[in-house]
Structures are given as C-alpha cells and as structure tokens.
Amino acid sequence: MTTNAIATISQTNDFESILAQRDLATTTRYRYGREIIKAQEAGVNLLDAADVADYATTLPSSRKMFLRAAVALIADNLTAKAKASATPDNVQAMQAIMWRADALKGSIHVQASKGQRAHTWLNLSEVRALLTNLTDATTAKGLRDRVVFGLLLGAGLRRDELVNLKWGDIKTQGERSVLNVTGKGNKARVIPVSDALVSLLGKWGDKIDPEGYVIRSVDKAGNVAAYDKPMSGQAVLDIVDAYGQELGKEKLRPHDLRRTYARIGYDAGVDIGQISKLLGHASIATTQRYLGLDVDLKKTISDFIPFT
C-alpha cells in the first residue's frame, strides 16, 4: 500500500490537481508545473529525496527555487493523504510515507545570496504596463490585480497594510480622498490618493460593509471572496512576482513597488520630508535609502545659515 500511495502522487495529472487546490498566480502555477515536467523528462524520481537533490544541483538558483516549491507541494499532499488513509493496521506504512515526505521537503537547498539584495525601481512605462495592459480589468481577477498594483504603486502601502486595508479606511477630507492606514509600530498615517485610484477602487467594490476588506481572493469561476475574508500576504507576493516575470523583473517584490512610489514622487518634485511621512518612516535616512540617495557632504543647508 505504501508503494501504491507514493506512486499515485508522482503522476503529472495528480500534480495538476494539487496546483488547482492552491491560490497561485497563473505564472507561478505554470513555472511549478514546468519544473515538474522537466524533472520527469530527465528521468527524476520526484519521490526520491536523493534523486531530487542530485538533479537540483544541475539547475540555476531561479529554477531550483521553483522546483523546491513544487516538490514541497507534492510532499504536503503526500503527507495529507497518508494521514487521511491511516488506520490501526497500516499506521507504520503511513508513517513511513510521512518520513519520506519530510525528506523530500529538505532535499533541495538554495544558497542564500550574500549581502543586501539590490533595490529595484520600476520606470513609468513599467508602472503603466502593470496598471493597464498586463492586468485585464474585464475579469474579476484582473481587476483585483490592478487594484493591488494601484494601492502598492499609488499609495506606497506595505504588504501587510494592503491586506488589512478596509473599505472604511477610505475617507474624504475636503476635496481629496485619503487612506487611513495603521502601519509598523501601530503608527497611523493619512495618505492622500488620486481621483484615478479612487475610481479604480470604485470599479472593484464599495463601502457596503466598512469593515470589509478591500483585497480579497478570486476563484477560478471569478467569484470574489466574502468581505470578511482578506487575501493573504503570500498571495500578494505571488501576484507581484508573477507580473514581475512578465515585465522581465526577476523576484519583483511588493516593497519594490513601494520604493517605486517614493522614487516617482521624488522625481516629480515632492519634498523628501513629505515622502517620508507618506511612507510612515521614522527618519529621513530611511527614506533616502528607499530612494537610493546619498547625503551630500559637500553642500548642506547649514552652509547657507548666516551665523555671522
């Protein structure tokens, strides 16, 4: 029975069903599936930790990461099936399957890059692509993705701030719409947003339930999750990563879009102190790092103060 249970998981069609159960971006699902297919074409036994480990050493880091994630899904599914099938008569066999699954999850090692990851900023054409042709606003998922990018690029939100944003946090102050956001250290800040972003939000949803979450999952049938079901931070990461691949930006992260928000504002002439407040930074120095700026030691404001 152990052999039969393990053999079932190794089939490509079964892996496709595993992927279907996960809330993954289309590009991410494709990359996971592609690595599984390539491994099978190379004759790799995806349920043999040693075989998987040997094969992984031949791959570049980017592909190795996708294979590791895909194998982890297989291992998790294998464990779940073993637990569901366990009886007093086969408990030892099911335990053996779970041990094998654990070995699979630890079979691929991706060496962490040394030093700090280079900061990424998008240019205006890349930002426009994310907010227009790359996201299909005629579908629920495409519109949701466009709103995700709208809030990351048009309000500079952190990932946690995005998934925790509620419809009631969108306010009107005078002629301007603002977001009331609670960020790191439970610090509240007000972020003015453009009419274009407000219009985009209006196409996505409304304030029927002020306590409802703005960003929510969309299933394959196009059904949007209930207002009280926020999307996970990992799902946001997957969305940004998937569209980053389409832009040719490997490992694009939500924080890169936050940096882009700051950089576009700075290039447009917005005062760095204002940018710092909008980002919720504790110091201007942090904002300077976001912008990739160095302090000018040759010239400073103090030089122009008439002390004598």
Catalytic member of 141, 258, 259, 263: 258
Catalytic member of 83, 184, 203, 251: 184
What's the rounded Cα separation, in Å, for the pair 295 and 302? 13
In this structure, what token pair is assigned to residue 201? 């939000």
Q: Is 181 exposed, middle or buried (0-12, 13-18, 19+ CB in 10 A)?
A: buried
Catalytic (active site) residue 281? yes
Catalytic (active site) residue 128? no
Catalytic member of 158, 159, 253, 263: 158
Catalytic member of 55, 261, 266, 290: 290
Q: How far is CA 279 from CA 123, 179, 259, 282, in A?
A: 19, 12, 9, 9
Catalytic (active site) residue 298? no
Catalytic member of 38, 255, 277, 289: 255
Catalytic (active site) residue 255? yes
What is the residue whose two structure tokens read 């779970």? 98
Q: Which residues are catalytic?
A: 158, 184, 255, 258, 281, 290
